[in-house]
Structure 1
Amino acid sequence: MNSKNSLLSASAIIEIPFHDCDPMNIVWHGNYARYLEVARCELLRKFQYDYLDMNESGYLWPIVDMRIKYVGSAVFTQKIRIDAYLKEYETRLKVDYIISDAESNKVMTKAYTIQVAVDQKTKEMLFASPQIVLDKVQRAMNGEPRAV
């Protein structure tokens, strides 16, 4: 779980809100999945394939695997940075994440998610990513301008 061999990356900054914390002002562990989602959406936008684009293309992309390793705890009002790294896209979307303190850069959490394409009509899982994803990622990696 690191940025090495990353194909594309994106980041998001979040200030920890009170409603995400337990009575000790520490972020409840289940909220980390939402933080990953924020950074993943930023990453998907990098290659123009966020959730609206997925829906329009005829594919669902459920998360089929997620791993989170808690190294340290985030607390109320702390600013955290969530870095998302696209590691695989040809057969599935594998994204690695590093959550760190936005000021000190101290790593607090490491994670990954894996999403697979599912045809909206047949509900069948695909064993390769649809061509639209391959094309969009390749364009983004080549630095081609976004289509309007």
Structure 2
Amino acid sequence: MTDQEPEQKKHVYSVRVYYEDTDMGGVVYHANYLKYIERARSDYVRQLGNDQNAMRDEGIVWVVRRIEADYLATARFEDELTVETRFISRSGVRLMMGQLIKRGETEIFRATVTAVCMNAQGKPVRLPAEIRALL
């Protein structure tokens, strides 16, 4: 997240690094950072009242359209991490979020995620009203 982004309420999600998260070098395997930010996004939209099971039952699911990621430092076994998530922008069908993983005050991973909702036919649909109302 950059200094140019509007100051908005952030969601904070805690993660502990387990042995299974690490690679042969003892650091968090690069793909696991994507898992951490996915969990944080799911937790955030759940807290906002977005029921993803109900959406799926109606034939609509969240899909990540794009991720731009920067790996800034390494995390290791037993580290306690926090994932900060902020809304950046939205259109009728697209939502952009900035996500930052920190160990204490040290930034170790940064991503900009674009998500959309799609129907069972794979076509984009409008974002849920409760999400659109936030921005």
Q: Same fold (TM over 0.5)?
A: yes
8 Å contact kept, 2:46–2:52: no
The C-alpha deviation readout for 1:22-67, integer Å capped at 9, x for no partner, is 1221001011110001110121123211422431443122111011
Taking structure 1 as the reference length, the TM-score comes to 0.78
Say what the alpha-carbon RMSD is for the aligned residues: 2.2
Distance 1:24 1:99, change over 3 A: same
Runs in 1 of length 4+ with deviation above 4 angstroms? none
Moved more, 66-75 or 45-54: 45-54
How far off is 1:7 after superposition? 5.0
Matched, 1:25 2:19: no
8 Å contact kept, 1:94–1:114: yes
Structure 2 partner of 1:109: 109
The residue type equivalent to 2:39 in the other structure is V
Structure 2 partner of 1:92: 94
8 Å contact kept, 1:9–1:84: yes
Distance 1:8 1:92, change over 3 A: farther
The CA distance in 1 between the partners of 2:102 and 2:110, in whole Å, is 9
Distance 1:42 1:70, change over 3 A: same
Matched, 1:67 2:61: no
Taking structure 2 as the reference length, the TM-score comes to 0.85
Structure 2: give runs of 5+ residues left out of the alignment: none
Aligned residues with identical type, % of pairs = 18
Secondary structure in structure 2 of the residue aligned to 1:40: helix
